[in-house]
Every structure is written in structure tokens, then in C-alpha cells.
């Protein structure tokens, strides 16, 4: 019974005083003491943990931005709608995000192949039963014929 009276009255008495008395929390003491460190060593340890956490978060943000760059590249390549989330991730990383080198090499090779396919000779090579060397020879012969005819022409 005395316990209940003390508990009820004690809690209300603390509320009336407004907590003016300073009480050192045992949590701070116990954390440093539990790890066998002084308070200063514990604060340095906490600071080191915070720095490592920030480095991990920065590295993670960089990786997210690189992935967003890859996705935006493929969206541009295949003319898909842009995603604002990707653009935001790239901006948060400081806009100094580049494609990974291996992917950049693959893209450069693809661009060269596409450029070749889009050229006239590339289009001709897609047609079956066409000998490009023979076409080149015929084109050279035609040009030489034209030159000879222009030399023989009295008007020219």
C-alpha cells in the first residue's frame, strides 16, 4: 500500500516541480562504461561512426545516380518517356555522374555499328546477293567513262 501511495504522489510531485532538478542519465554513463571507454573516447567513437555512415550514404547516392544515368541513357536511346526520379537522383549526386566505363565502351561500339548500318554501304550490305566490291568497280568504271566522254565533248 505504501508503494502505491509513493508511486502516485511521487509522480505528481515531480510534475509539480517541473523537473527542475538535474538528473544525470545513467544511459550515457552506461554506454561509455559498458564499452570500457572514457566519455571523450566514446564521443570520438560516435563521431567516427557518424562519418562512416555519411561516407556509406554518399557512396550509395553515387551508385543510385549511376544507375539512374544508365536508365536515362536507355530511355533516350529508345525514345521512352523520362523519369523525374532519375533526374532528381542525378542532380543530388552533383551532376558529375558518368556512365560506367564498360557500358560507355559498349555504347560507343553500338553507335559505330548503327552509323555503319545507316550509311549507304551498310544498307547495301543488308540486301542479299549484292557484291559490294563489284558495285565499287562498276561505279569507278562509270566515273571514268564520264570523264572520257567529257574530254571528247566539244562543248566542254
| pLDDT per residue as tens digits for the range 12-61 | 656 666 655 555 554 555 577 777 788 888 899 999 999 999 999 989 98
The mean pLDDT value for 84-106 works out to: 81
Q: Which residue has the cell 553500338?
A: 110
The mean pLDDT value for 52-73 works out to: 90
> Three cell numbers at 73?
541513357
Does 31 reside within a domain? no
Q: CA geometry: angle at 124 spanning 119 and 126, to 5°?
A: 100
Residue 60's Cα: distance from chain center in Å?
9
Please state which of the ranges 6-20, 80-94, 104-118 shows the lowest mean pLDDT: 6-20
Highest mean pLDDT among 75-79, 108-112, 141-145: 141-145
Does 21 reside within a domain? no
Say whether both 40 and 93 belong to one domain: yes
Domain that holds residue 129: 100-136
Boundary-marking domain end, from 66, 82, 97: 97
Say whether both 81 and 113 belong to one domain: no
Say whether both 86 and 43 belong to one domain: yes
Domains of the chain: total: 2
Does 142 reside within a domain? no
Say whether both 47 and 79 belong to one domain: yes
Kindly report the number of other CB atoms within 10 A of residue 97's CB atom. Answer: 21
Q: In whole angstroms, what is the distance from residue 124 CA to residue 135 CA?
A: 10
| HSE-up (13 A, CA, CB side) for residue 124 | 10
- pLDDT of 57 reads 92
Please state which of the ranges 27-36, 89-98, 140-149 shows the lowest mean pLDDT: 27-36
- pLDDT of 47 reads 95
Q: In whole angstroms, what is the distance from residue 132 CA to residue 134 CA?
A: 5
Say whether both 86 and 111 belong to one domain: no
Q: In whole angstroms, what is the distance from residue 80 CA to residue 156 CA?
A: 56
Rounded to the nearest integer, the mean pLDDT of the chain is 77
Does 130 reside within a domain? yes
> Three cell numbers at 35?
564499452
Please tell me the pTM assigned to this model: 0.47
- pLDDT of 97 reads 77
Say whether both 111 and 92 belong to one domain: no
pLDDT band with cut points at 50, 70 and 90 for residue 106: confident
- pLDDT of 154 reads 67
Q: Is residue 92 scored above 70 in pLDDT?
A: yes
Say whether both 113 and 93 belong to one domain: no
Say whether both 54 and 77 belong to one domain: yes
Does 48 reside within a domain? yes
Query: 26-34 and 39-77 are packed helices; what angle lies between their axes, rounded to 10 degrees?
Result: 80
Say whether both 91 and 107 belong to one domain: no
Say whether both 83 and 40 belong to one domain: yes
Does 151 reside within a domain? no
> Three cell numbers at 112?
559505330
Amino acid at each position: 500500500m505504501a508503494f502505491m501511495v509513493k508511486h502516485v504522489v511521487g509522480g505528481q510531485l515531480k510534475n509539480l516541480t517541473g523537473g527542475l532538478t538535474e538528473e544525470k542519465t545513467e544511459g550515457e554513463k552506461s554506454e561509455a562504461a559498458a564499452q570500457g571507454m572514457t566519455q571523450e573516447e566514446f564521443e570520438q567513437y560516435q563521431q567516427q561512426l557518424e562519418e562512416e555512415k555519411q561516407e556509406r550514404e554518399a557512396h550509395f547516392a553515387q551508385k543510385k545516380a549511376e544507375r539512374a544515368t544508365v536508365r536515362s541513357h536507355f530511355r533516350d536511346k529508345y525514345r521512352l518517356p523520362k523519369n523525374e526520379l532519375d533526374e532528381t537522383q542525378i542532380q543530388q549526386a552533383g551532376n558529375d555522374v558518368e556512365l560506367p566505363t564498360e557500358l560507355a565502351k559498349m555504347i560507343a561500339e553500338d553507335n559505330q555499328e548503327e552509323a555503319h548500318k545507316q550509311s549507304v554501304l551498310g544498307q547495301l550490305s543488308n540486301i542479299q546477293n549484292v557484291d559490294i566490291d563489284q558495285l565499287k568497280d562498276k561505279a569507278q568504271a562509270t566515273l571514268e567513262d564520264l570523264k572520257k566522254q567529257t574530254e571528247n565533248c566539244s562543248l566542254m
